[in-house]
Structure 1
């Protein structure tokens, strides 16, 4: 059985979809699993060992010059590759018009969500089979149920398993134990104060862990460097592919991060992780993974440094 999972973005959402790969291989050990992802997130599905092929969309780039010759060539090549794969089943768990259209490029029947539960209602017109799974189920549970209903197996809904692997050899100019800090996120209201990060880094150093601080764009790099400059021994690595980021995270003794993909990836990789949420309800979104995780805060709540340190001690035994 050859299947295509369509989950193109964002980073955290793709990570939260990966437990369905473990479920699917348990229900159908013979399954050959392919994934369709946006080009900037193409490395994320590869952390699941059973994903053998990742096809790439580039809608974020294509929409800038939709009629350019190179864009038409890339879209044509993707359509040809998807059709040539000759899938037995296609499941779109993204629920957007663009993902539904891309799923139809396979030339095969597509399973997606009902009109009342899909993110963009027009997308449901492109689905041959429709699943009534509301977003209120939570991302991980919803994606797992979608695959279980589509491919016909049972799951333990309360205990997702990621079983990810990040074993690339990456040279990191830091020796000894280190904590990975995800200090940046896509929206300012999700940020934790820089002074809090400095105090946290200082305390983690006293516990024997240097800080490795991640960034994703020039503005984020400036923030990471400001924080690192005030923490002895802190490191801001050069920008690296997500596959290498995963390898660095897999070697960390601890992850502390705001609501961002890097923090969710570390948790999924089984690292002891603490999530800092200041504008997101932790009842519906929190860190989840194969290792110990704690998520602090909520809408309008700013966790204290002391609370984060206590959580770090709880998940990683830092003291």
Structure 2
């Protein structure tokens, strides 16, 4: 009888989102089991909000990253936090199975500290840095399939090992309740300004600079949406505020900033209110899609098949024609394909997804 399960997906936001349907399948199959999730502190809030999960085990990445000689807390602070975390993992009651959706050195070493009857992960080719050597059960690479489907294959393999035949596709995840105060604050901010709006997510990470869509393209898209009677609003974080303001200048008064989102619950509450979210292949877009919200995802250097948004109202627009897999990425600079994805194409597609 399966009573205790541990899943590991540490980061990043989009990848944590992709794993949720697979974990939902585990919960549907084992409604009475304890299901715990190992995740980085940056995404603890999202995992804690999921009713699927019983306990969240937090990898203290920020403390470790911010430790060192000359830094607040020093090297000792980070070492103490890491040692305490590993001690917590070692002292946990035994799990029937631990499933590693991350598949790298960081996740597999942490799961190795856990007492688990069965450790499951992807074989080489999907897993990296020798992680597959630490698994009892290795799942073959399922090929060019959506990430949510790939993660579900890990669950299917575990279920087959238990003598259970699973469905061919992961379940659709219903929107889950959010922190009431975050919802109230977002609704108050929206109702005081523009209750109906199109949300634009222009951000990108240093690791994904190739997915950047040009500022002038965002500005032109805002103007075209506004001319069609829509109200574009820019999603932003403190780190993205300067770029958002540059887009506002390019938009020439046709867009405004969205309300601040100080927590993931605030972000999800805002995503739930948008008529449509337009953005590149990114965590917030995939989170909106997972919650069943309409999204239009813009793809250039990343594969719209492998990184398809996980939701029934998700739509994609690719910079290049055809369905072949993109070439290897150069993450250090904006991809030429993103320059080639013109705002006129995006506006035309977006307007087909919006109410007249």
Q: TM-score range by the shorter chain?
A: 0.7 to 0.9
CA–CA distance in 2 between the matches of 1:282 and 1:226? 28
2:273 and 2:177 map into 1 onto residues whose CA distance is: 9
Of 199, 211, 232, the residue aligned with 2:220 is: 199
Equivalent residue number for residue 233 of structure 2 = 212
Describe how 1:81-160 pairs up with structure 2 within 5 A. Answer: 81-82=88-89, 83-113=91-121, 115-134=123-142, 136-152=144-160, 153-158=164-169, 160=171
Q: What does 1:71-90 align with in structure 2 at a 5 Å threshold?
A: 71-82=78-89, 83-90=91-98
Match of 1:227 in 2: 247
Structure 2: distance between partners of 1:249 and 1:10: 18
Q: Does 1:53 align with 2:55?
A: yes
Moved more, 164-173 or 191-200: 164-173
Asked whether the equivalents of residues 15 and 45 of structure 1 are also in contact (C-alpha less than 8 Å), the reply is no
Distance 1:254 1:138, change over 3 A: closer
Alignment check: 8 A CA contact 1:34 1:51 kept: yes
**More divergent stretch after superposition (151-160 vs 3-12):** 151-160
1:209 CA drift (Å) = 4.0
Shift of 1:192: 1.4
User: Distance in 2 between the 1:114 and 1:161 partners?
Assistant: 23
TM-score by length of 2: 0.80
2:348 aligns to what? 310
| Cα distance change of structure 1 residues 136 and 102 upon mapping to structure 2, 3 Å threshold | same
Q: Is the 8 A contact 1:37 1:55 kept in 2?
A: yes
1:256-271 residue pairs with structure 2 within 5 A?
A: 256-271=278-293
- The Cα RMSD (Å) is 2.5
The answer on 1:181 being equivalent to 2:188 is no
**Which residue is equivalent to 1:36?**
38
Normalised TM-score (structure 1): 0.88
Q: Could you list the per-position Cα deviations for residues 58-115 of structure 1 after superposition, in whole angstroms to 9, with x for gaps in the alignment? A: 3465256478332233223323433334322211111111101111222224523354
Cα deviation 1:196-238 (Å, max 9, x = unaligned): 21232233334554333223453x2211122134344511443
Q: Secondary structure at the match of 2:199?
A: strand
Runs of 4 or more consecutive aligned structure 1 residues displaced over 6 Å after TM superposition = none
Q: Distance in 2 between matches of 1:155 and 1:307?
A: 40
Contact 1:33 1:50 in 2 (8 A): yes
Deviation, 1:118, is 3.9
Aligned residue number for residue 64 of structure 2: 62
Aligned CA distance change for structure 1 residues 141 and 307 (closer, same or farther; 3 Å): same
The separation in 2 between residues aligned to 1:311 and 1:90, in whole angstroms, is 42
**What is the CA–CA distance in structure 2 between the aligned matches of 1:295 and 1:32, rounded to whole Å?**
40
Equivalent in 24, 27, 46 of residue 25 of structure 1: 27
Task: Report the more deviating stretch, 102-111 or 272-281.
Answer: 102-111
Check the 8 A contact 1:183/1:191 in 2, yes or no: yes
| Equivalent pair of 1:103/1:110 in contact (CA under 8 Å) | no
Q: Distance in 1 between matches of 2:138 and 2:108?
A: 12
- Structure 2 distance, partners of 1:114, 1:281, is 20
Could you tell me how far 1:48 is from its partner in structure 2? 3.1
- Mean CA deviation greater in 13-22 or 45-54: 45-54
